[in-house]
């Protein structure tokens, strides 16, 4: 049913080299990738800067309690992983995944010269650039740019609009906020008949027509997959919960997309953090763990890798409004039924060694990306990241 | 066969503004281009500024400010959204000269920064409006002293002995010279010259002498005790600056596929005029090549151009800033929030599957929300995202359409409206239900044309 799609080495070189900047050309070697591995990665983006220290609490650390007199999580409440660290009580779903050996925690993930602007820091995570360079293509967009045989639905952004991470120079991911709505938008007969009149002597108009017909074919594909399997599980009744459900249904139905990108926003907790963060973590934990249960039951979990990240963590000390301000390094969770090294990948942050009140990063986030690209999607990460990063030995 | 005059008129107004309502287009359609250009420049002093918010908060004592901070911030956020919409309505209603508005939009994307406060947004956009067609030096100095920009580029971290290169780098790389015309050392030296340039707690520009590095700097081969304005002078002495800016203006207003020889000539004049933006724009819009077929109908409209164009055609006015912001977000161009310091994308990068159906259905989406006595369901509306909130709209009129096209036979009706709305020709078949009333027919034809991919370009 799924056509065998492999990188065609010659066409990869021929088409990719036209528009790719010269920096990238150096890495533009043929990139072998076997799409029949049937694996997918699900990226969960926590927008606004999730407070990693209150998500994964160092409950034996006096500095933590001293710097956060009002908003710290009491040791008696945390879901203990070992004698030092425990999850926020709202993350019971993640705790269960940790216990079953399906969750790995990478601590102190960040990048050199951290930027505390949401805007910029999210761009840096999206484009995988250094902090002092502005790139306008996202890392998953570049993945598509060097993959001529990738389908229009290879990278699905589960949102109304596309974020920068999935935008490339030539190609971009496909935005699906609500599958039914996307399908409705392309269903009228005039849309289809319009798309048939493809050729136009105006090159730009002709481009618009081909985008239109690609949109139609991708929307049809996704819709047809989405009706094969319908979940009976209860997901959080929020946009994030619905996205988790849509992803679980598509993966179970055998959709051939390799990447699913989900958002959960609202983590910018400068005020009254305790309540706001708890509400969001309940959604995160509920959405992700239900999705995992669903994938497990359908024998898809071993082919699925979930990455949970945020553009930065928050300052170690609380502010005067029972919240926290923008910080730097943070923890990243990797969840899969095929982890080689589950559990804690590295040691928790050293609160006695802060830089200007902030955690210091140890693991570059692009090492996490390289792990996903090299070891999961089987694509040479140096081509996508325009630099060499060592993958982590987690998968 | 040359380009017909009415097409040239439309081209001029689409590129130098946001298009023309039908009646004005019809009045001007046979006007010689030279006169139309003169007319466009004749009222460039007609500039509608954005209204500043109530600033009494800033004169409160620190303790009172503390008490009222969240109230002020709430107000400021509201003003930010309201002024965003006000600006769009100004572009659409013609209360301001269209070229000034278009040029301001260009500079807003050029001096890209995320403006966070209502107060600083009004301050910055009004500054851009004032100098949009003035002298480039005033514009650069204005942006170097602009509190919103200084805040965005971390000016408060740029101090003697602790230089932050953020501002200096963006100034050279993106605002004036372009990469390749200076060294890393020039970035450092320029940043040193700008140390102490900051805004105070009232968001007014200040030079903080205690943070300013008064030492000698060597910048682009010149040595002296430079401060920020000396750096701007030196930057403008470099021809590379005139070229970089002219090239960008050409790509935006004429064609992304830049004719380098033309840009060189234009840049030389721009340089020799002492960076007179108005003169540069006048020579572009008066040139014969601007109206060559290869430059017409090949630019993908930015979301703002598309939206304001539709509003202009129907004389629409929008009223709900928060909902409007959702629409802008879905279209991919939120004013005051360019995606990063290098500004908005352009050309094909505006288009993706997530917005193409919305863009094609935009006219339908906007007019659907009006209480007009047209049976919309019969019109096969484009089903765009239902999650977009309904926007209160007023104004909607067919003024012009009836007068100009109402007389004609069915075939002429379609061709006449297509001629007005489209720059490229279309091969699509536009029809209508013969059972419709005259008004319904007309509306049906307009909406069918506005949802064509051909309508996405100008």
Chain A residue with CA closest to B154: the answer is A117
Q: Phi and psi dihedrals of B200, rounded to 5? A: -90, -175
Q: Is A122 on the interface with B (CB under 8 A)?
A: no
pLDDT confidence of residue A6: 34
- Measure the CA–CA gap between B200 and B206, rounded to whole angstroms: 6
Q: From the candidates A141, A180, A202, A243, which should be mutated to test the interface with B, based on the most B CB atoms within 10 A?
A: A202
- What's the pTM value of the predicted model, to 2 decimals? 0.81
B361 reaches A (C-beta below 8 A): yes
B261 close to B247: Cβ distance less than 8 angstroms: no
Beta strands A343-344 and A103-110 are parallel
| Residue B410 scores a pLDDT above 90 | no
Centroid of chain to Cα B103: 6
pLDDT of residue B389: 66
Q: How far apart are CA B284 and CA B5, in angstroms?
A: 17
**Hey, what's the torsion of the CAs at A18, A19, A21, A24, to 10 degrees?**
-70
Contact residues for A314 (Cβ-Cβ < 8 A; gap 6+): A49, A50, A51, A52, A53, A269, A324, A325, A326, A327
* pLDDT-derived band at A4, boundaries 50, 70, 90: very low
Q: Indicate the DSSP class of residue B173.
A: I
Q: Is B384 on the interface with A (CB under 8 A)?
A: yes
**Per-residue tokens: B191:** 């940043």
Mean pLDDT of B225-251: 98
Confidence (pLDDT) at A13: 33
Which band of pLDDT confidence, cut at 50, 70 and 90, is reported for residue A7? Answer: very low
pLDDT of residue B10 exceeding 70: yes
Q: What is the pLDDT of residue B383?
A: 46
Which has more confidence, A68 or A161?
A68
The C-alpha atoms of residue B205 and residue B150 are separated, in whole angstroms, by 9
Q: Residue A45: which pLDDT band, with cuts at 50, 70 and 90?
A: very high
Q: What is the structure's pLDDT at B408? A: 67
Share of chain A above pLDDT 90, in %: 71
Residue B30 pLDDT greater than 70, yes or no: yes
Q: Residues A342, A104: contact at Cβ < 8 Å?
A: yes
pLDDT digits (tens, 9 = 90+) for B156-174: 878 898 888 878 988 998 9
Whether residue A196 lies within 8 A of chain B, CB to CB, comes out as no
Residue B304 near residue B298 (C-beta atoms within 8 A): no
CB contact under 8 A, A185 and B330: no
Q: Which helix (H) or strand (E) holds A186?
A: none
Q: Find, among A303, A323, A305, A301, the residue nearest to A314 by Cα.
A: A323
Q: What's the token pair of residue A282? A: 């309940």
Q: Do A211 and B386 touch (CB under 8 A)?
A: no
CB-neighbour burial class of residue A221 (10 A; exposed 0-12, middle 13-18, buried 19+)? middle
| B370-388: burial string, b at 16+ Cβ within 10 Å, e else | beeebebeebbbbbbbeeb
Q: What is the mean pLDDT of residues B115-132?
A: 95
Going by pLDDT thresholds of 50, 70 and 90, the confidence category of residue B245 is very high
Q: Count H helices, E strands: chain A?
A: 14, 12
What share of chain B in percent tops pLDDT 70? 93
CB contact under 8 A, B353 and A174: yes
pLDDT of residue B431: 81
What spatial distance separates the first Cα and last Cα of chain A, rounded to whole Å? 28
Q: What is the DSSP string of B7-67?
A: HHHHHHHHHHSS---HHHHHHHTTS-HHHHHHHHHHTTT---PPPPPP-GGGGS-HHHHHH
CA atoms within 13 A on the CB side of A374: 18
Would the CB atoms of B382 and A172 count as touching at under 8 Å?
no
Exposure string for A177-190, b = 16+ CB within 10 A, e = fewer: bbbebbbbbbeeee
What is the residue-wise DSSP string for B325-391?
HHHHHHHT--TT--SSTT----GGGG--HHHHHHHHTHHHHHHHTS--SS-GGGG------TTSPP-
**Is residue A29 very low, low, confident or very high in pLDDT (cuts 50, 70, 90)?**
very low
| Average pLDDT of chain A to the nearest whole number | 88
| Cβ distance of B457 and A187 shorter than 8 Å | no
In whole angstroms, what is the distance from residue A268 CA to residue B34 CA? 54
**pLDDT value at residue A184:** 86
Residue A218 Rama label (left phi>0; alpha psi -120 to 50; beta) = alpha
Please identify which residue in the block is written with the tokens 């002597």. A201
Confirm if B157 and B208 have CB atoms less than 8 A apart. no
Cβ pairs A/B, distance under 8 A: 111
CA–CA gap between residue A53 and residue A56 (Å, rounded): 5
Question: pLDDT, tens digit, for every residue of B67-106?
Answer: 998 898 889 999 999 999 999 999 998 889 999 999 999 9
pLDDT confidence of A18, banded at 50, 70, 90? Answer: very low
Q: What is the mean pLDDT of chain B?
A: 90
Confidence of residue A297 (pLDDT cuts 50, 70, 90): very high
Residue of B nearest to A158 (CA): B354
In this structure, the dihedral spanned by the alpha carbons of residues B30, B35, B38 and B39, taken in order and rounded to 10 degrees, is -50
pLDDT at A27: 38
Q: Is B389 on the interface with A (CB under 8 A)?
A: no
Candidate from A75-84, A116-125, B239-248, B435-444 with smallest mean pLDDT: B435-444
Buried b (16+ CB within 10 A) or exposed e, A309-319: bbbbbbbbbbb
pLDDT at A267: 94
Q: B38 pLDDT band (50/70/90 cuts)? A: very high
Tell me the mean pLDDT in the region B339-366: 85
CA distances to B59, B63, B70 from B55, in Å = 8, 17, 14
Phi first, then psi: what are they for B47, rounded to 5°?
A: -125, 120
Average pLDDT on A85-100 reads 98
Judged by a CB distance cut-off of 8 A, whether residue B300 touches chain A is yes
How far apart are alpha carbons A5 and A12 in whole angstroms? Answer: 13
Strands A304-310 and A330-336: antiparallel
The predicted structure's pLDDT at residue A39: 94
pLDDT number for residue A12: 33
Confidence of residue B201 (pLDDT cuts 50, 70, 90): confident
Q: Does A112 touch chain B (CB under 8 A)?
A: no
Q: Could you report the per-residue pLDDT of A123-137, keeping only the tens digit for each?
A: 999 999 999 888 889
Measure in Å the smallest separation between the Cα of B70 and chain A Cα atoms: 11
Distance of CA A107 to the CA centre of its chain: 17
Nearest-by-CA chain A residue for B298: A204
List the single range of A24-28, A64-68, A105-109, A354-358 with lowest mean pLDDT: A24-28
Res B455: pLDDT: 97
Closest CA to A359 of A120, A110, A125, A131: A110
Please say whether the beta carbons of B147 and B204 come within 8 A: yes
Best mutation target among A168, A205, A257, A320 (most B Cβ atoms within 10 Å) is: A205
Q: Is residue B391's pLDDT more than 70? A: no
- Interface check for A261 against chain B (CB to CB < 8 A): the answer is no
Range A371-377, long-range pairs (CB < 8 A, 24+ positions): A371/A334, A371/A395, A372/A41, A372/A305, A372/A307, A373/A143, A376/A39, A376/A41, A376/A305, A377/A33, A377/A39, A377/A41, A377/A143, A377/A258, A377/A259
Interface touch A204/B457, C-beta < 8 Å: yes
- Residue B6: predicted pLDDT: 95
- Whether residue B387 and residue A181 make contact (CB cut-off 8 A), yes or no, is yes
Contacts (Cβ under 8 Å, ≥6 apart) of A84 = A58, A59, A60, A61, A348
Q: Are strands B317-318 and B393-394 parallel, antiparallel or unpaired?
A: antiparallel
Angle at B260 between CA A18 and CA A167, to 5 degrees: 35
Residue scoring higher pLDDT (A18 or A270)? A270
Mean pLDDT within B18-34: 94
Report chain B residues whose CB lies below 8 A from the CB of A119. Answer: 114, 340
* A311–chain B Cβ distance below 8 A for any pair: no
User: pLDDT value at position B381?
Assistant: 46
Q: What is the pLDDT of residue A187?
A: 85
The pLDDT of residue A54 is above 60: yes
Q: Residue A11 pLDDT more than 50?
A: no
Instruction: Tell me the C-alpha to C-alpha distance, in Å, between residue B19 and each of B16, B91, B362, B443, B457.
Output: 8, 10, 16, 19, 12
Task: Determine the pLDDT at residue A200.
Answer: 84
Q: Which residues of B touch A221 (CB under 8 A)?
A: none
- DSSP bridge partners of A156: A174, A260
Q: Which residues of B touch A162 (CB under 8 A)?
A: 352-354
What phi and psi, each to the nearest 5 degrees, are found at residue A43?
Answer: -105, 130
Check CB contact of A19 with chain B, cutoff 8 Å: no
Contacts of A246 (CB under 8 A, 6+ apart): A158, A176, A179, A226
Alpha carbons A241 and A148: distance in angstroms, whole number: 32
User: How far is CA B448 from each of CA A191, A194, B43, B312, B398, rounded to the nearest angstrom?
Assistant: 11, 11, 35, 17, 15
Name the DSSP class of B171. I
Joined together, the tokens standing for residue A181 give 């709505």
What does the alpha-carbon distance between residue A361 and residue A364 come to, in Å, rounded to a whole number? 7
Check: CB of residue B140 under 8 Å from CB of residue B127.
no
DSSP state for residue B302 in the 8-state scheme: P
Q: Is A200 on the interface with B (CB under 8 A)?
A: yes
Q: Name the closest residue on chain B to residue A178, using Cα atoms.
A: B385
């Amino acid at each position: 049913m799924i056509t065998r799609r492999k990188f065609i080495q010659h066409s990869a070189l021929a088409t990719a080299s036209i528009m790719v900047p010269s920096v990238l050309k150096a890495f533009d070697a043929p990139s072998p990738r076997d799409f029949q591995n049937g694996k997918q990665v699900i990226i969960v983006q926590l927008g606004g800067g999730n407070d990693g220290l209150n998500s994964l609490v160092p409950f034996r650390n006096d500095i933590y309690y001293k710097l956060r007199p009002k908003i710290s999580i009491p040791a008696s409440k945390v879901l203990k992983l070992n004698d030092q660290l425990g999850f926020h009580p709202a993350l019971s779903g993640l705790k269960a995944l940790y216990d079953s050996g399906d969750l790995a925690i990478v601590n102190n993930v960040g990048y050199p010269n951290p930027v505390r602007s949401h805007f910029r820091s999210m761009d840096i995570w999206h484009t995988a650039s250094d902090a002092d360079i502005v790139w306008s293509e996202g890392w998953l967009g570049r993945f598509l740019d060097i993959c001529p045989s990738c389908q229009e639905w290879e990278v699905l952004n589960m949102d109304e609009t596309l974020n920068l991470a999935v935008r490339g120079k030539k190609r971009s991911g496909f935005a699906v906020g609500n599958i039914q709505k996307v399908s409705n938008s392309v269903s009228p007969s005039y849309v289809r008949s319009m798309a048939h009149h493809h050729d136009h002597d105006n090159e730009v108009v002709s481009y618009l027509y081909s985008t239109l017909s690609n949109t139609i074919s991708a929307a049809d594909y996704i819709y047809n997959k989405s009706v094969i399997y319908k979940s009976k599980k209860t997901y959080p009744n929020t946009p994030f919960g619905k996205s988790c459900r849509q992803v679980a249904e598509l993966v179970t139905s055998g959709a051939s997309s390799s990447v699913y990108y989900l958002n959960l926003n609202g983590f910018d907790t400068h005020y009254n953090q305790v309540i706001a963060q708890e509400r969001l973590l309940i959604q995160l934990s509920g959405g992700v763990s239900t999705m995992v249960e669903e994938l497990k039951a359908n024998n898809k979990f071993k082919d699925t890798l979930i990455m949970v990240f945020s553009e930065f963590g928050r300052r170690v000390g609380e502010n005067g409004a029972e919240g926290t301000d923008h910080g730097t390094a943070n923890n990243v969770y990797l969840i899969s039924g095929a982890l080689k090294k589950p559990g804690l990948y590295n040691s928790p942050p050293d609160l006695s060694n802060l830089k200007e009140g902030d955690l210091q990063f140890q693991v570059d986030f692009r090492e996490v990306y390289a792990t996903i690209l090299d070891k999961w999607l089987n694509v040479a990460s140096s081509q996508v990241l325009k630099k060499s990063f060592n993958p982590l030995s987690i998968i | 066969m040359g380009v017909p005059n009415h097409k040239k008129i439309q081209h001029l107004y689409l590129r130098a503004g946001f298009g023309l309502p039908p009646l004005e287009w019809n009045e001007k359609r046979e006007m010689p281009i030279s006169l139309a250009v003169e007319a466009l420049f004749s009222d460039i002093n007609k500039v509608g500024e954005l209204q500043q918010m109530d600033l009494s908060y800033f004169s409160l004592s620190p303790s009172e400010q503390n008490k009222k901070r969240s109230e002020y911030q709430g107000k400021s956020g509201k003003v930010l959204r309201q002024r965003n919409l006000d600006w769009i309505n100004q572009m659409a209603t013609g209360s301001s000269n269209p070229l000034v508005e278009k040029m301001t939009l260009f500079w807003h994307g050029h001096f890209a920064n995320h403006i966070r406060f209502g107060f600083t947004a009004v301050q910055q956009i009004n500054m851009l409006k004032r100098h949009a067609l003035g002298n480039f030096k005033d514009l650069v100095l204005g942006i170097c002293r602009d509190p919103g920009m200084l805040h965005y580029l971390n000016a408060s971290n740029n101090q003697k002995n602790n230089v932050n290169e953020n501002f200096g780098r963006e100034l050279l790389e993106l605002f004036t010279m372009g990469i390749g015309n200076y060294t890393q050392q020039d970035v450092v030296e320029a940043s040193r010259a700008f140390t102490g340039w900051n805004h105070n707690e009232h968001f007014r520009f200040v030079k903080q002498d205690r943070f300013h590095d008064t030492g000698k700097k060597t910048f682009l081969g010149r040595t002296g005790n430079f401060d920020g304005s000396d750096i701007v002078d030196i930057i403008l002495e470099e021809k590379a600056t005139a070229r970089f800016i002219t090239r960008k203006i050409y790509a935006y207003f004429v064609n992304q596929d830049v004719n380098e020889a033309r840009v060189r000539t234009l840049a030389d004049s721009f340089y020799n005029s002492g960076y007179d933006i108005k003169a540069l724009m006048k020579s572009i819009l008066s040139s014969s090549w601007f109206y060559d077929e290869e430059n017409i109908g090949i630019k993908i409209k930015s979301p703002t151009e598309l939206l304001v164009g539709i509003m202009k055609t129907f004389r629409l006015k929008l009223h709900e800033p928060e909902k409007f912001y959702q629409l802008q977000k879905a279209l991919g161009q939120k004013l005051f929030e360019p995606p990063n310091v290098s500004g908005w994308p352009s050309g094909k990068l505006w288009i993706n599957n997530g917005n193409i159906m919305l863009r094609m259905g935009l006219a339908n989406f906007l007019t659907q929300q009006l209480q007009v006595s047209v049976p919309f369901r019969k019109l096969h509306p484009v089903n765009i995202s239902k999650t977009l909130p309904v926007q209160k709209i007023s104004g909607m009129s067919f003024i012009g359409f009836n007068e100009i096209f109402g007389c004609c036979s069915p075939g002429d009706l379609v061709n006449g409206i297509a001629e007005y709305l489209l720059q490229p020709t279309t091969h699509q078949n536009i029809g209508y239900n013969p059972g419709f009333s005259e008004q319904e027919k007309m509306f049906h034809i307009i909406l069918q044309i506005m949802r064509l991919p051909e309508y996405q370009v100008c």
